[in-house]
Amino acid sequence: MYTPSPERYTDTVGYNFCGKSGLKLPRLSLGLWHNFGDVDNIEEAERMLNYAFDKGITHFDLANNYGQPFGSAERNFGKMLNKNFAAYRDEMIISTKAGHIMWPGPYGDGGSRKYLFASLEQSLKRLQLDYVDIFYSHRYDENTPIEETMGALSDMVKQGKALYVGISKYPEDKAREAYRILKENGTPCLIFQGRYSLLSREIETEVLPAASENGVGFIGFSSLAQGMLSDKYLNGIPENSRAALSHGFLKKEQITEELVIRLKKLNAIAIERGQTLAQMALAWCFHQQQVTSLIIGTSSIAQLQDNIDALKNLHFTNEELWQIGEI
């Protein structure tokens, strides 16, 4: 029987207010895209979840299609919640999403009211919950009027099925429209979820300023570029790494020679700073003040602890920022 550590809020990950809302999120959140599905090591997944909570990680990010097969991450998380965290629901922020393909036919993909409501109901059943804390539109759907998608999100809040809503991967102009409509509906957008890492800086120029101007928080994902921004691929592709697995989303072809040269240069800077490359990659994202939290994925407790330790040194000299930018 798991009992959370009484020290879980003492000197652990720390919290930031999410945009202009009253909700605090841990600086590191745990994502369940990989490592929590039926194809994964579920005993290790459960240990990671318990470990994360013990370290003050209160936010767990899911989506309808996480895990192989789709839905299995929500189902496994729901079982773990029921078993270990039933008494701690009010200490947790659980998010889920819909937007990418989930089931066949015309109603299992996109941004229609029909899909989003059906998907949320299915997610709640898998998670064994009455409500989620954050529900996201997982992507912008150009074939659905944005008023329809945002109207569905607002009604989820009004019906108590989601406490807050967010959007993910929307282009900046559509994000601004979404913020306006959600505000008009009386259910302001809490958060924008976007890819952000040393290798993917697109959000810096438009998405972050738009979120900030609208009081919306920002949570980054794949800040380790699915593990590429760690030391694991510096000398080949290790067995059991995400790039080696047939069901992972990272493909061997993405580990190019040119990339490894850059990673080695970044690794040298990380060593100078007394950090692992993964730690430096996470710490670096916080040089943008608007970053509320980063969603990390991990396949072991050792990785989770390595990443938490990134928070011990978030300071970068201008020289370091310049060198990293050049690479």
Ligand X SMILES: NC(=O)c1ccc[n+]([C@@H]2O[C@H](COP(=O)([O-])OP(=O)(O)OC[C@H]3O[C@@H](n4cnc5c(N)ncnc54)[C@H](OP(=O)(O)O)[C@@H]3O)[C@@H](O)[C@H]2O)c1
Question: Which positions lie near ligand X, rule CB under 6 A?
Answer: 31-35, 61, 138, 168-169, 193, 221-227, 230, 232, 241-242, 278, 295-299, 303, 306-307
Q: Which is nearer to ligand X, 123 or 193 (CB)?
A: 193
Peptide bond preceding 69: is omega within 30 degrees of 0, i.e. cis? yes
Q: CA dist 315 to 27, 284, 288, 310, Å?
A: 15, 8, 11, 11
Instruction: Work out how close the CB of 45 gets to ligand X at its nearest, in angstroms, rounded to a whole number.
Output: 11
Rank residues 149 and 193 by Cβ distance to ligand X and give the closer one. Answer: 193
Q: Which is nearer to ligand X, 18 or 159 (CB)?
A: 18
Query: CB 1 → ligand X: shortest distance, Å?
Result: 27
Structure-token pair, residue 203: 């959000």
Query: CB 283 → ligand X: shortest distance, Å?
Result: 12
Three-point CA angle 68, 69, 74, nearest 5° = 80
Taking the C-alpha atoms of residue 162 and residue 208, their distance in angstroms, rounded to an integer, is 24
CA distance 325 to 193: 23
Q: Which is nearer to ligand X, 150 or 191 (CB)?
A: 191
CB 317, min distance to ligand X, A: 23
Give the nearer residue to ligand X in terms of CB position, either 46 or 306. Answer: 306
Helix residue ranges per DSSP H, the chain: 42-54, 72-80, 113-127, 146-158, 172-184, 207-213, 257-273, 277-285, 301-308, 318-326
Residue 133: φ, ψ to 5°: -80, -40
**Taking Cα atoms as reference points, which of 87, 101, 84, 94 lies closest to residue 25?**
94
**Nearer to ligand X by C-beta: 77 or 85?**
77
Residue whose CB is less far from ligand X, 50 or 193: 193
Nearer to ligand X (CB atom), residue 82 or residue 254:
254
Kindly provide the b/e burial profile for residues 307-325, where b requires at least 16 CB atoms within 10 angstroms of the residue's own CB: bbebbeeeebeeebeebbe
Q: Minimal distance in Å, beta carbon 33 to ligand X?
A: 3
Residue 225 CB, nearest approach to ligand X (Å): 5
Helices 72-80 and 42-54, axial angle in degrees (round to 10): 60
CB of 277 to ligand X, least distance (A): 8
DSSP letter assigned to residue 82:
I
Residue type, 293: S
Give the DSSP letter of residue 39.
T
207: CB partners within 8 A, 6+ apart:
172, 175, 192, 194, 218
Q: What's the min distance (Å) between Cβ of 163 and ligand X?
A: 18
